[in-house]
Amino acid sequence: MKKVVALAAGVMLLLGMFAGCAPNPPEQDAYKVLDEAIHDVESTFVRFLNVDPDGPAEDVVSAVERLSSEWAAVAAAAEGLEGVDISAAQAAYDELVDATAQVPDEMTASEALRAIQPVLDAFKAEVDKVHDALDLH
């Protein structure tokens, strides 16, 4: 009887080890893709810090334009994921694009950045909220 119990415990241990090595379910992989896309957006925020303050406003506009492909990847990755709502972040992104379109060409990069800073900060905050919500999954 002791041998049967020991054998059963060994089998359970092996099954538990194999279960731990099982691949992630597709939904978990989708959350990981979204997480990586958000990291790309967050790293793009650094581009705004690297803009030459005396450079043209176009440098800031270009940084926002480069952000668009990364944000599109987030939107695509978030589509259909349960518990992930990027609508507020999307609205903040749209406001950022609109604010950037209003930047006059004759501004310096630092002036342009100051002009869009409130909406850029709002977008960052919304992206952070989406990222924080992912930690719950």
Q: Per-residue pLDDT tens for 91-116? A: 999 999 999 999 999 999 999 999 99
Q: Which amino acid is at 94?
A: D
The pLDDT score that the predictor gives to residue 81 is 87
More confident call, 24 vs 37:
37
Average pLDDT (73-84) is: 90
> For the chain, what is the domain count?
1
Whether residue 1 is contained in a domain is answered as no
The pLDDT score that the predictor gives to residue 3 is 54
Whether residue 13 is contained in a domain is answered as no
Whether residue 8 is contained in a domain is answered as no
Count the Cβ atoms, other than its own, within 10 Å of residue 80: 9
122: domain range?
A: 25-134
Whether residue 56 is contained in a domain is answered as yes
Whether residue 63 is contained in a domain is answered as yes
Scored b (16 or more CB within 10 A) or e, 7-21 reads eeeeeeeeeeeeeee
Q: Which residues pair with 38 in a beta bridge?
A: none
More confident call, 111 vs 24:
111
Whether residue 11 is contained in a domain is answered as no
Please provide the size of the chain in residues.
Answer: 137
